[in-house]
Structure 1
Amino acid sequence: MRVAILAHEKFPGDAKTALGVLRYADHDVVAVLDRDSAGTQVGDHVADVQDAPIVSGMSAVDASIDALIIGVAPIGGGFDESWRADVVTALERGCDVIAGLHYFLSEDEEFARLAEEHGGELRDVRKPPEDLTVSQGRADEVDAEVILTVGTDCNTGKMTTTMELARAAAEAGHDAAVVPTGQTGIMIEGWGIPIDRTISDFTAGAVERMIREVGDDREYLFVEGQGSIVHPAYSAVTCGILHGAMPDKLVLCHEAGREAIHGYESFEMPAIETYVDLYEGLAAPVRETEVAAGALNTSEYPETAAADAIAEFGDAVDAPAADPIRQGTDELVEALL
């Protein structure tokens, strides 16, 4: 599928969905839309993803595309009205528009009318199924080993670590799959349930449903974590995934140098050792598990400082640790599989 990705004024640092699609999705990315970086290339900003030109908007995309992907998801998941012209242009060209917002494009009267008139489809991947139920506490009955990424905060690399580990396991000859729980993972994998949009009573049940759907056909399942157990806004989502997945092992994800909760800077982050105790202790009444590995995002660090930070992080989690992008996942895979 040929796509353009909207990432206005956020690329690359705050465009997690855009980066995920560029790195992992099986799409031909024709262009990235970002008013602030127009005239440059993706490769000028990020070296290890699919390259594409960065343009000011859909009106500057001359090549034909099949879909426009909304590649940013602001806190609260709202729709920025400055994006409207790009969505309208895409729909008028007959393109699909794929979004992972809490604002559903399919319920916007203008977008719905244009999609019907021009034959495009509005795909709101953050819209959960209507037949979800509470958990039965049976995710541990599947044949697959279940490995869950958990975080010290939002945007610490849980999705990236999940994707890297699943691909490394598959390359090593194991039958491995990703269980996507957020909009980016769903866009990449083509299936999944958006846990942060699920009714709270059904969050654990939604994760359990996905695991039981594919868990007897796979050797390993890598569950994409969300949020953090200490996050003032998103801890409920984190707990629902932890209890619904009933994981055999955990991978703790952290960004080197971060000291306060992203977007909630008045909340200081606890010590890494505290996170290990919190996650293992909270999981224990449902299923005993352990933090078996650590993934550290060192993208803002030079090489020597990154190596020191990874060693310190490994000591704190008392498990093998690595930066999955910078160093690869060999050490983590060995500890987990």
Structure 2
Amino acid sequence: MRVAILAHEKFPERAKTAVGVLRYSDHEIVGVLDREHAGERVTDYIPDVQDAPIVETMAEVPECDALIIGVAPIGGGFEESWRADIRTAIEHGCDIVAGLHYFLSDDDEFGALADEHDVELRDVRNPPDDLTVADGNAKDVDGDVVLTVGTDCSSGKMTTSFELRNAARERGLDAAVVPTGQTGIMITGWGIAVDRVISDFAAGATERLINEAGDHDILFVEGQGSLAHPAYSGVTTSILHGAQPDSMVLCHVAGKETVGGYPEFEVPSPETYVQLYEDVAAPITDATVDAGVINTSGMDEIEADPTIARYSEQIGVPATDPVRHGADEILDAIL
């Protein structure tokens, strides 16, 4: 499928969804919309991903099948400055794929335009309406279940899940990602955005995903939030208990001292988090933190490698930056 990605004024640092789709999806990306960097190219900013031109408006994008909303503001709201580009995309016959809490299908203008031009408004955060509480049976699936957990939001859980999947497949293992957030759903084409699910059903939604994934040697479950996050700890706990993982991978951003969007809250130390995740998991599963991932994208190689080594020492297990060095070392630790 040929797609464009909307990332206005957020690319690349604050466009996690856009970057994830560029790095891991099978879509052909024909353009990225970003007013600040129009006229440049994706690989001017991010190496080792699919390249595409950066343009100012949807009118400049070559013919394509869909427009993906590649940014997700805190709270998942809709930015009115996007309206003209979404309108243009619909008029050009493009489906719209969005991961917002604001459902485009409920927008009167977009709904009428979509009907007129026979396109789909796909709100990937809209959960199934038949979810239930967990039965506690995720542990019964064939194969191992590995959950990526974090010290904060946007700490690399989704990236780690796909890097580990790719590394496992290169070894001949039957591996899959279980997507629990909008970016993973856009990459794989399936999943449930657990942060949109009624709280009583969130663990059940995770359990359903694991059961629906089918038989694999190993499943990498995409975690969300963090256990000590002042706003999102609930979804983190639900995924942890619903997944009943065999193993966990702790993801962290180098130099991160305060919670993103909540500067008055300090991020607990990585070693504190290891104990916290294992303690909260313990009544449901005997999973331990067996590997670590640290995002060193803001550093050069001279700084990054000692930072990775210190992080590994802090948490007492092998660690790496999988985008920089690959995931083989931490896959060994998990297996």
TM-score (norm 2): 0.99
Pairwise mapping of residues 1-337 of structure 1 onto structure 2 (< 5 A)? 1-61=1-61, 63-215=62-214, 217-337=215-335
Cα deviation code 1:267-315 (max 9, x no counterpart): 0111111000000000001111100000010000111111111001001
DSSP 3-state at the match of 1:65: coil
SS at match of 1:181: coil
For these two proteins, the number of residue pairs brought into alignment is 335
Could you tell me how far apart the structure 2 residues matched to 1:330 and 1:4 are? 32
Taking only the aligned residue pairs, the percentage that are identical comes to 64
> Secondary structure of the equivalent of 2:273?
helix
The one-letter code sitting in structure 1 at the alignment partner of 2:268 is P
Letter in 2 for 1:20: G
Amino acid at match of 2:290: A
After superposition, the CA RMSD in angstroms is 0.6
Deviation at 1:48, TM superposition (A): 1.3
Summarize deviations over 1:185-239 as a string: whole Å, max 9, x none. 0000110010000000000000001112224x11100000000001001000000
In the alignment, residue 15 of structure 1 is paired with which amino acid?
A
Distance 1:72 1:214 in 2: 27
For 1:3, give the aligned amino acid: V
Rounded to whole Å, the distance in 2 between the matches of 1:210 and 1:163 is: 16
C-alpha distance in structure 2 between counterparts of 1:197 and 1:161, whole Å = 22
SS of equivalent to 1:326: helix
Task: Indicate the SS of the match to 1:222.
Answer: strand
**What amino acid sits opposite 2:16 in the alignment?**
K
User: How far is the alpha carbon of 1:13 from its aligned partner?
Assistant: 0.2
Tell me the distance in 1 between the aligned counterparts of 2:4 and 2:212: 32
Instruction: Return the offset for 1:167.
Output: 1.1
Q: Any unmatched runs of 5+ in structure 1?
A: none
- Distance across 2 between alignment mates of 1:212 and 1:98: 25
Q: Aligned-pair distance for 1:22? A: 0.4
Q: Distance in 1 between matches of 2:31 and 2:261?
A: 29
TM-score, with structure 1 as normaliser: 0.99
Q: How far apart, CA to CA, are the structure 1 residues paired with 2:156 and 2:269?
A: 18
Provide the secondary structure at the position in 2 that maps to 1:69. Answer: strand
